[in-house]
Structure 1
Amino acid sequence: MDFLDTYSIKARLFPALIVVLPAFVLFLLAGSWEDPGVPEVMTALGIGVLFYAMSDLARRAGRRVQSKLFKESGGYPANTELSQADPALDAGTKDRFRNFLANQIGKRAPTRESEIADPAAAANFYAECYNFLRNNTYDTERFRVLFNENISYGYRRNLYGLKPYGVAINLLAVVAAYLLYRYQPPFASLSQGKIFIQGGFAFLHALYFIFAVTEGTVLDASKTYARQLTMCCDVLIRETKT
């Protein structure tokens, strides 16, 4: 039943649903709904199994994309939001977060001068800080915003990983629609009007994958998640004072 948890549904199943949508539309258009029979029932069951299989494929494809992106950028991306040189947060907020995290991990926070003089040591300090944050923000109720950003990242990553499948399924759905229209088999049928509907939907769906599902959307979600992880310091600081 882990398949039904919130993350799996939103970050894995939803991308799978989007990818196989052209096949589902074809099923609705070509099926005999006035007198549904065994072919319609079997096809419906097959699509249900396909959804599950595609959600598992989404997870694996997303991980491959993530590994590829990290390899291109030189490894696992480092969180830099707390460093002196990063302009994402104001200096006062960064100092407050750095001092809190330094106290939690038992190390002294680097100054601007020490970051320049010994960047490797500074990078190790921030890596430990973010390891502490990740290990202490698993509670999805206390850190609901962070959890939602993690879902958003997982959704975009997995959908991007499925992009080739999304484009291919559109093409296959159009070919299948034409064959059903051309040969009119006993188990399904398509009118000329319905084949235009299928073709138009497939065209728009393919455009969505080509222009809206991009590496940039994945990287943007990653940055948003990283910033929210940093902001979780506020919650941890408040809890230490109570």
Structure 2
Amino acid sequence: MDFESIIRNSGLDRYDRNARLYPALLCILPVFAIVILWFPPAWTMIGGLLSIAVTFGGIYLLAQVVRYRGRTVENRLGRRVGRAKTASLLCHNNNELPANSKLRYHAFLRKKGQPIPTHEEEQANPEAAYEAFRAAVDWLLIYTRPNAKASGLLSENISYGFRRNLLGLKPVAIFFLGLAIVANGYMCWISGNKDQIVAALVVEILFACALAAWLFVIRPGFVEDASAAYAKRFLEQCEQKSGTPRNPSPSRQ
């Protein structure tokens, strides 16, 4: 089965493939492993089904479901990730950015017509100040869109989206892994092929490692780290001297 051709013909762009489709494939990878190990003839049939899924939009639908799961996680984490995190970095009472850098970002945004609150205004009404910073971030997303790929911003956005969507799929991934571990163990029990049993035991160890990764690595902090890296790289665009973009497209965050 030529997965590369199937993915290439799916119509998904770089962001969709890396941040949405690949988390979904990692989620169902244990099922593929069981099929390859114990039911090799079925592998050809799966390739045909995947081709049909691409033709009728199944892969695109899968990417949209992953997007929904990721955005649900993002809403749950609130100001710790995403655009909300970027806006929080601009707040005067947030110390994650160097003070001088933040002053330059504020000055740039004011120069571009964004109503950036002063420290006194933020102290008087923190929520109103935060909403002003959030509006400035929304504007900056459009302003920087044409330069996103060249600046490395797209790569940081993909990294954040990938991790966010992995966290969104975590319950599903653990379910498939648990199912695969049980199925693999059962097939070992009833199989009389020693070579296949040895291979299955190796796969069982890999499944256990994957389960540990989903349980102990794919956590909110894993997503927050990527979100902070993206937010800081994103705000660095205030140092650029590019003009207002033409035909801006919406953010993929």
Task: For residue 163 of structure 1, give the secondary structure of its aligned residue in structure 2.
Answer: helix
Q: Which residue of 1 aligns with 2:224?
A: 219
Contact 1:153 1:218 in 2 (8 A): yes
Q: Which residue of 1 aligns with 2:109?
A: 101
Q: Which residue of 2 aligns with 1:83?
A: 91
Post-superposition offset of 1:106: 5.5
Q: Does 1:20 align with 2:28?
A: yes
Q: 1:136 to 1:164 in 2, by over 3 A?
A: same
Amino acid at match of 1:222: S
Task: For residue 208 of structure 2, give the secondary structure of its aligned residue in structure 1.
Answer: helix
Query: Cα RMSD (Å) of the superposition?
Result: 3.3
User: Which segments of 5 or more consecutive residues in structure 2 lack a partner in the other structure?
Assistant: 1-8, 244-253
Q: Which residue of 2 aligns with 1:45?
A: 48
Q: Does 1:198 align with 2:203?
A: yes
d(CA) in 1 for partners of 2:114, 2:73: 36
Contact 1:180 1:189 in 2 (8 A): no
Q: Give the TM-score, by structure 2 length.
A: 0.75
Q: Does 1:159 align with 2:166?
A: yes
Higher Cα Rg, which structure: 1
User: Which segments of 5 or more consecutive residues in structure 1 lack a partner in the other structure?
Assistant: none
Q: How does 1:1-242 map to 2 (within 5 A)?
A: 3-32=11-40, 37=41, 39-46=42-49, 49=53, 52=59, 54-70=62-78, 76-77=84-85, 79-105=87-113, 107=115, 109-139=116-146, 141=148, 144-183=151-190, 191-235=196-240, 238-239=241-242
**Percent of counterpart pairs with the same letter?**
28
d(CA) in 1 for partners of 2:50, 2:181: 17
Q: 1:205 to 1:227 in 2, by over 3 A?
A: same
Q: Give the TM-score, by structure 1 length.
A: 0.78
Post-superposition offset of 1:18: 1.4
d(CA) in 2 for partners of 1:86, 1:177: 50
d(CA) in 2 for partners of 1:44, 1:206: 26
d(CA) in 2 for partners of 1:8, 1:28: 26
Task: For residue 145 of structure 2, give the secondary structure of its aligned residue in structure 1.
Answer: coil
Post-superposition offset of 1:176: 2.3
Amino acid at match of 1:66: E
Contact 2:23 2:162 in 1 (8 A): yes
d(CA) in 2 for partners of 1:15, 1:205: 13
Contact 2:149 2:155 in 1 (8 A): no
Q: 1:189 to 1:122 in 2, by over 3 A?
A: same
